Amino acid sequence: MRRLVMTALAVATLATAAPARAAETVVPPSQAALVYSFAPLVKRVSPAVVNVYASRTVRQRVSPFMDDPFFRQFFGGGGFATRPRVQQSLGSGVIIDKSGVVVTNYHVIANADEVKVALADKRELAADIVMKDERMDLAVLRLKGGSGDFPTIAFADSDALAVGDLVLAIGDPFGVGQTVTSGIVSALARTQIGASDYQFYIQTDAAINPGNSGGALVDMEGRLVGINTAIYSRSGGSIGIGFAIPSNMVRVVVAAALTGKRVQLPWIGADFQQVTPDLAAGLGLDRARGALVASVADGSPAETAGLRAGDLVVSADTVDVDDPPSLNYRLVTKGIGSTVELGVIRGGRAEKATIALQAAPEVPPRDERVISIESPFAGATVVNLSPAVIADLGYKGRRSKGVLIEKIAEGSIAAGVGFQAGDVIVEVNGVPVDATRTLEDLARQRFDLWRLAIERDGRLIRSTIGG
């Protein structure tokens, strides 16, 4: 049976130098030493772990025939009644500030119209969404009402974790109520789990199940080391392979949210690629490791620091770098305005490159436009490509300039044509689309046929549709 990586959803900081560990961990010396209980620790931290209920109202067609393309072709979308239907999801969250600031996963509250939080003491409070960041799969909520003196869990330095450390996972799996499971840190720096370029997970064998998303992973001092987010499973239930977002990343997201901003991703102006076993052999490495510099932008911090295409980045501030996502994680948790010393292998020699981390430039200006003119693009929100847009929206194509579709309105002409968020519009009837204003001008024209060229996932797609 095919294995799946599943987000543990419902059934339906900035990092600083890692401090020395508080005490050296030891193997229990005797059988008697194994007689212990997590109860005092659980009693102290569990009040700060909450249940998160998210709901969204959607319109659903009363007639099932409208799901058939044949009937839609002849009868269109009009004249068929719809009725409201409430979609609900359940997850967990962690209170990290006495004023009622809660951290959970983005996928728990994505597209929610209403969010409620149930506390361990049985109170249920409404919550505002302060910030949600799909790139990091994190969201920050603020509780409304209550005493304003909520129980909290303090952050730990997740970089101080070691494989084998004991941890507890606390959440609400399958909606049965708050549940605590124990395990160890199975692995660190897992980066091949999801689609994000900033993934960097703690792996644990503490049972994590659907509904645990957004819950707490805590160490033996009761500090938050991670936010539980995903499981690796064949059946949908826990098989002992769970993943949590490190607290050092959570801390960065919360700090940005409380200042009313999204996380700004540091930009150094270099593109990196994965080192495969074949590449490793060609580079004379003993194993596949590091982030290979594919290109360096003119005038960028990377160029100023002397980084070149073909360099292999193997460390960041003396911490080993295994691949591009782990390098991105180090840059994000380091933060804009700081510097990072990269360990580089160039021509078989070890080099150093000190790079200043800055915000990605928005050149050309984003110039966001919603195309409302009747055309194949009606309902599309488009922006000009720039390093800032590429970083914000996670664009993975090959182009550095052009017009990117940021989002598509549900039920719009653009949605019917088949456009998708992330598409880059390259040409319309042979005219290069170099800016959002160019696309808007083209949309005003009347054509019998629209010959389109778009880039999707790095591939150029050409199609022709009637006017």
Active site (catalytic) residues: 107, 137, 213
Q: Check: CB of residue 71 under 8 Å from CB of residue 14.
A: no
Q: Helix or strand or coil: residue 125?
A: strand
Q: Taking a C-beta distance cutoff of 8 angstroms, is the pair 455, 424 a contact?
A: yes
Contacts of 427 (CB under 8 A, 6+ apart): 433, 451, 452, 453
Alpha-carbon distance values, 459 to 19, 181, 397, 462 (Å)? 46, 45, 8, 10
Distance of CA 140 to the CA centre of its chain: 13
- Quickly count: other Cβ atoms within 10 Å of residue 184's Cβ: 14
Phi-psi region of 202 (alpha: psi -120 to 50; beta: other; left: phi over 0): beta
The partner residues of 463 in beta bridges, in order of sequence, read 452
User: What is d(CA 352, CA 326) in angstroms, rounded to the nearest whole number?
Assistant: 18
Q: 214 in helix, strand or coil?
A: coil
Report the 10 Å Cβ neighbour count for 25. 11
Angstrom distance (rounded) from CA 368 to CA 330: 31
> How many residues can be counted in the chain?
467
Token digits of residue 149: 């003196």
Contacts of 128 (CB under 8 A, 6+ apart): 115, 141, 142, 144
